[in-house]
Structure 1
Amino acid sequence: MTQTQTLTTDDHLALFAQRADRFSRVVDAVDGSWDVPTPCEGWSARDVVGHVIESQRDFLDRQGLDTGPQPDLTDPAAAWRAQRAHVTTVLAADGVAAREYDGFFGPTTIAATIADFYGWDLVVHGSDVARATGQAWSVSEAEAADLHATADGWGPALYSEGVCAAAVEVGPEASVTDRLLARLGRDPRWEPPVS
C-alpha cells in the first residue's frame, strides 16, 4: 500500500493538481526546440509530453470517460494545458473521482489512480522535460519519500515494459533527487547532447 492510498478523494485530487501544476511550470518554461532528446532514450521533449497526454487519454477511455479532443502536439505546452483542463473537468463530474474499480493492484478509485500513477508520471516526466531543456529540477526529501513509497507499492512491476528502465547505480553521496532518478532508471549524470 502506498502512502497516498490512505488519502481521501479530495486529497488525491489535490495531489494530482499539485503534480500537474509542477509539470505545467516545466512545459511552460521550455524556451527553444521541443525536439531535443530527453533521458528517455529515443524520446524528444515533444514525445514525452505526447506520452503523458496519451496515457491519460487511454486511462479515461478504459474507464468509459470522455477522452477529449485529439491533442495537437505542434505546441506541446498548449496541448498539455488543454489536456489538463479536460481531465480536471472530467474528474469534477459528480461521483467520477470517487468511482471504484479493480485496478492492476486491486480495488482502487479513479482519484487514487490519477494521483498515484498519472500524477507520479507527471513528476517523473517533468524531470525528463526539465533536464532536456536545461531547467533546474529537484525534489525535496518529503516528495522523494512519497514517490519512493508509491514505487515500493508497485514491486517488480516498477521495472516492467513501459514503466521504468532498470535502476542506475549511484554512490552513497548522491543527492535525494539523484537517488530518486537513479531508482527510476534515469542516469542522474545525463546531460543534453551539445549541438
Structure 2
Amino acid sequence: MDLIQAHGLAMTEFDRRVRDIAPDQWVLGTPCREWSVRDLVGHLVYEQLWAPELLAGCTPEQVGDRFDHDNLGDDPLVSWVLAAAAAREAWLEPGALSRRVHVSAGLIDAAEYCWQMTADLAVHAWDLARSIGADERIDPDLASTLLRYVERNIEEWSGSSLFDSPVPVAADADDQTRLIGLLGRKP
C-alpha cells in the first residue's frame, strides 16, 4: 500500500468513528491521557488545519497561533469534515510528497510528515472507537503497512511526544494489536 492510499484509508477510518459519535459521547474519556472525545477530535482537526499551511511552505512561526483555539465550534462534525477535506486536498496536490516541510522539530520530508499524520489518524481512530464503543478494527492492510513504518521508527521516537511508550503485547498478536501496543495503547 502506498503512502497516499494509506493516508486516505487512515483518514476514512477516523472519519467513520467521528460520524458515530452520539451527542452525549463528546464528554467521554479516551485512551489518550486527559483527553475527552471532544479533545481527541479537536486534536485531529488541529493537525489537519496545519497540513495545507505546511505543505504550502509556511513555517510554524508564520502560521503562529492561528489554530490555537477551539476549532470545533458548535458543530464538531462539520469542523472535522472541512479540515479533513482541506488536508486531503493538500496531500493530493502533484508533488506534495516530494516537498520538504517546516515542523516544530525542524525541516523534514513531506513524506515523513504524511506517515506521521497517517499513523496518528489510524491510532486515534482506534482510540475514538474504544471510547465510544464502536468497532475498533482498523483495515488489516493499513494496520500492516503502519506496523512496518512504526517498527522502523519506534527507537527514534523514544522519549519524544509523538506517541506514548510501547505496551507489551503477546508474541503471536495480529498486526493491529502490535501496532496499537507499539504506539502506547493497551489493546
Determine if the TM-score, normalized by the shorter chain, exceeds 0.5: yes
Q: Which of 17, 29, 33 is equivalent to 1:26? A: 17
**What is the Cα-based RMSD across aligned positions, in Å?**
3.0
1: distance between equivalents of 2:156 and 2:48? 19
After TM superposition, give the deviation of residue 74 of structure 1 in Å.
Answer: 3.4
After TM superposition, give the deviation of residue 119 of structure 1 in Å.
Answer: 1.6
Q: Which amino acid aligns with 1:78?
A: V
**Superposition TM-score, scaled by structure 2 size:** 0.76
After TM superposition, give the deviation of residue 99 of structure 1 in Å.
Answer: 4.2
* 2:6/2:142 contact within 8 Å kept: no
Classify 1:73/1:161 alpha carbon distance in 2 versus 1 (closer, same or farther; 3 Å). Answer: farther
Classify 1:56/1:114 alpha carbon distance in 2 versus 1 (closer, same or farther; 3 Å). Answer: farther
**Structure 1 match to 2:184:** 185
**Superposition TM-score, scaled by structure 1 size:** 0.73
Structure 1 position 41 matched with structure 2 position 33: yes
SS in 2 for 1:182: helix
**Structure 2 match to 1:83:** 83
Q: Which amino acid aligns with 1:36?
A: L
The equivalences for 1:41-120 within 5 A come to: 41-63=33-55, 64=57, 71-93=71-93, 95=94, 97-101=96-100, 108=109, 110=110, 112-113=111-112, 115-120=114-119
Q: Which piece of structure 1 moves more, 38-47 or 52-61?
A: 52-61
Q: Which amino acid aligns with 2:41?
A: V
Classify 1:172/1:15 alpha carbon distance in 2 versus 1 (closer, same or farther; 3 Å). Answer: closer
- Runs (4+) of structure 1 exceeding 6 A deviation are 102-107
Gaps of 5+ in 1: 189-195
SS in 2 for 1:171: coil
After TM superposition, give the deviation of residue 60 of structure 1 in Å.
Answer: 3.8
Q: Which amino acid aligns with 1:84?
A: A
Gaps of 5+ in 2: none
SS in 1 for 2:127: helix
After TM superposition, give the deviation of residue 113 of structure 1 in Å.
Answer: 3.9
SS in 2 for 1:186: coil
Identity %: 23
Q: Which amino acid aligns with 2:39?
A: D
* 1:50/1:73 contact within 8 Å kept: no
Classify 1:171/1:59 alpha carbon distance in 2 versus 1 (closer, same or farther; 3 Å). Answer: same
* 1:90/1:96 contact within 8 Å kept: no
**Structure 2 match to 1:151:** 150
1: distance between equivalents of 2:137 and 2:164? 20
2: distance between equivalents of 1:91 and 1:141? 23
